Chains A and B, each alone.
Chain A
Amino acid sequence: MLNTKRKKIPVKYIVIIIIVIIMILFGIFSYTLKEDRKLNVVESLIKDAVVGVQKVVYAPFNYIFNLFSDFQELEKIKEENDILKTSIDRNSAIETENIELRRQIEALKEELNIDYVLTDYEYLNATVISRNIGYWYNTLTIDKGSHNGIETDMVVVNSTGLIGKIISTTNFTSEVRLITTSDTNNKISVSITNGENKLNGLINGYDYENKTLEVEGISNTEEVAIGDKVYTSGLGGIFPSGILIGTVESINTDEYDLAKIINVKPSADFDDINYVSILKRKSDK
């Protein structure tokens, strides 16, 4: 007669196996959840293929949605048009000044023998395909990839200010990490402009309660006022200088009363991002 009795595995072994599996999984997660993990060839191909299908599937919905939103915006556009008409004269003066400043910069670059300055960058426009599924990842997927010259760490902005940076690319898509991520590994160097003064600090993270960015590294003796504009400083090598981040909303001091902790209200609306521009520093060439 066959022995049909199965050997029972002792509970302690099962517990050990489960613990080992959990540890292995966490090891895998801590490796694969690294921001700088590059997608492998298979992942890139799958992502490109699915996003290609998504674009085709979404096209009619996007068309209808855009029709409705265009219609809704008509009223607003009329008002904006009246305001714009009044500022056209001022713009031509600014443009003339801009041309003159550019000419001076070029002359200085030539004189000092440098190829680029921190404000030099080129724009590349992209459409958002999907965003932030599952909430925690704080990312957007855009329809431009390495095929279009996009690389990791490039800066992403929209018409209102800084949005984030590229964290991974496939041939035809890229993943953008928003600056509202409380990621202490990615501090952004910023300048706070108060009249003639220009103070440098670092964005230390995002405060989800107050919906503000926290800027640190500014001495308590320095003068900062509520409403001051905050721009990227260009230091650190990733973000070009002069990109608007937001305005100072409140000012506190650290526990030792030595440095200021400045809460900055971002200028970009992170809930409503449909089109973005990717900035390519000229030094990236």
Chain B
Amino acid sequence: MPTTNLNAFERRLLNDFQQDMPLSPTPYADMAARLGVSEAEVLEALTSLREQGVVSRVGPVLATNRVGASTLAAMAVPEPRLEAVARLVSEHPAVNHNYEREHRFNLWFVATAPGEAELARVITELEQATGLDALVLPMIQDYHIDLGFELQWN
């Protein structure tokens, strides 16, 4: 969906509440009050933007390795098998991100699990299901402070 299809209200809704949504019993009404619209308009807009795929969710971004274990992993998938392997990886409930990238290691995914033993098992399951070795690249240090993403409208 092109950026130009968003109106000024939708742009502010997307930009102004990435970091700190109100934590009151009625957060959407509070957001509406700050934007000068009704609660119903905020709920309708968020529902619509979520259906269009512009909004992933309204919720938390969790710190890595504080709630459970997670890791980035990559596979070098022969090109003819890429779609089938990607589907196998995406189907695993522990995988939350899965991308094709331009590299010999062409499939990149993130897996999460309640603990490290379960995570190791997930990786083994994915290796067995695909017949491919995974490059397992867990985070050692996070340098980025997540402030959301400043959207530039032009």
- Indicate, yes or no, whether A interacts with B: no
Residues of A within 8 A of B (CB): none
